[in-house]
Every structure is written in structure tokens, then in C-alpha cells.
Amino acid sequence: MTIYFLGGGNMARAIIAGLRAQSPDDAIFVANRSAEKNARLQQDFHVATDFRLPETLSPQDVLILAVKPQDMKAALQNVRHGGALILSLAAGLAVDTLANWLGTHRIVRVMPNTPCAVGLGVSGLFAAEGMSASDCAIAEKIMAACGVTIWLNDEKMMNAITAISGSGSAYVFYLMNALQKAAAGLGFADETARTLALNTFRGAVALAEQSGEDFFILQQQVTSKGGTTFAALTKFEECGVADGLTEGVHAAATRSAELAQILKD
């Protein structure tokens, strides 16, 4: 299987890293305008970037669309897909829209996130109507190399998974940054504050995964009424931290739907 990327930005790089970790010898080609990014991709992952995409593809190939949604239509103007399986990473671009631009319905929409770069990503997938089981299996294999895959039965749920996992790593980094700043504010050196924040999150995730307990139960196991954790959680409730997070996720989902409508129009 030969995999072609149209675009070589951060998300393409993350997926290439995941693929290379699983299958170091797979043929991967990247069509990208940035000479600097091309050089880094070649150096880090030994991919080819010196080829002309429109003259290359066949039905046995996979084309991964990794350019920005607002630039996609222009980027596809001269692309002849040759019947290749298409995986689109473009948020908000519906399968029907892509099908009209490309002249094929052999399309799987994918919403990955940047932890794909370390094999711990989450990718939501939605297949165009009538897609074969074998094509879905290929898409599954590619994205499973980068982490967990979630298949969606309704394309509208792409907005929801964009808001949860697609943007979700940024929410985690936001909280990690806040905890690091809090540690620094309590007198820890910057590097120590970073270590405390990073390993607190790492340990909590590992414990949650290993125990299989409900997150709320795990929270209660750390919290004694009147104790230090209780004091912190009480302040979080007073500040509306959980409500703010929920509202933020809904805002992300709403914005995803708005961008989809803009791109459709």
C-alpha cells in the first residue's frame, strides 16, 4: 500500500509519525508547498516529497487530504485521484462536498488529534454511503497505527468528536499549564513545576485506565471531606470550572457546525 499526503502540516506529520512507528518501510509521499517542512519530513521520517501528485495515484493507493479546509477546494483543482481511497482530515468538509469536488464517493472522513504523533491519538471516522468493508478496513488500519479509532454512524457526530477529542488535547494542555503555573506560584522552580504537572496527569490517566473505575469514583477516593483536596474541589465548583469546560466543549461543537455550513455555502 502506498500512502500519499496532500499537505504536510502538523496533523499530517503526527499521522506519518504514527505510521512510521508501526511500519518503517511503508511507501509514504507528501505533496506540500513548504520547502522547510518538506526537509524536516524527509529528515525525520524518510518520506518522499519530490513528486507530482496528479500523475501518480491508482485504485490501490490511499490519498490523505491534510490541507486546511478553507484551502481544500483550490488544492484539489488539479488533483486526479485515479480511483484511490480518499481519507480527509479537513474539519467541516462533508463527504458530499468532497465527492462533488473530486468526482468520487470513495471517501472516509477522519477527525484525528495531535497525540497521533506518539501513537496515543483518538480518531473519529465516518465512511461515505456504500463504502466497502475492505476500504473501511484500510482506513482503520492507517488510523489505528496512531491510536484509538471510533467509527461514527452519523456524519453530524463529526462536530461532536471534533469538540471532544479533536480539540480535547488542547483542553488538557490548558489544564496542565494552569497546574504548572499554580505550582510555580507556590514556590517551585519552573522545571520542577512542569515535572509535577506532567507526571500528575500521567499518573492519573494510568490509574484510571488500569482501575477501570468511573472517573467520579476515583475523584472521591482522593477526597476527604474537610481535607485539602476537598478545599480545592470546592473552589473549583465555586468558580464553575466543570460548567466552563462543558460550555467550552459545546462552543467548539457549535463552531464546528458553523464552519461546516460556511464551507458548504
How far is residue 56's CA from residue 12's CA, in Å, rounded to a whole number? Answer: 19
Distance, in Å, from the CA atom of 169 to the CA atom of 191, rounded to the nearest integer, reads 21
Question: In degrees, to the nearest 5, what angle opens at C-alpha 31 toward C-alphas 27 and 33?
Answer: 150
User: Which string of b and e fits 116-143 if b means at least 16 CB within 10 Å?
Assistant: bbebebbbbbbbbeebeeebeebbbebb
Q: What are 241-248's contacts with CB under 8 Å, separation 24+?
A: 245/171, 248/171
Q: Is 76 annotated as a binding residue?
A: no
| 141 known member of a binding site | no
> Running DSSP on this structure, what letter comes out for residue 172?
H
Query: Is 135 within 8 Å of 109 (Cβ atoms)?
Result: no
Q: Is 66 annotated as a binding residue?
A: yes
Measured CA angle at 45 (ends 43, 50), to 5 deg: 70
CA atoms within 13 A on the CB side of 262: 11
Contacts of 68 (CB under 8 A, 6+ apart): 7, 9, 90
| Residue 69 marked ligand-binding | yes
The answer to whether 7 is a known ligand-binding residue is yes
- DSSP assigned state of 128: P
Element housing 27 (H / E): strand 27-31
68 is in an annotated binding site: yes
The amino acid at 35:
A
For the annotated binding site, the residues are 6-11, 66-69
For the annotated binding site for NADP(+), the residues are 6-11, 66-69
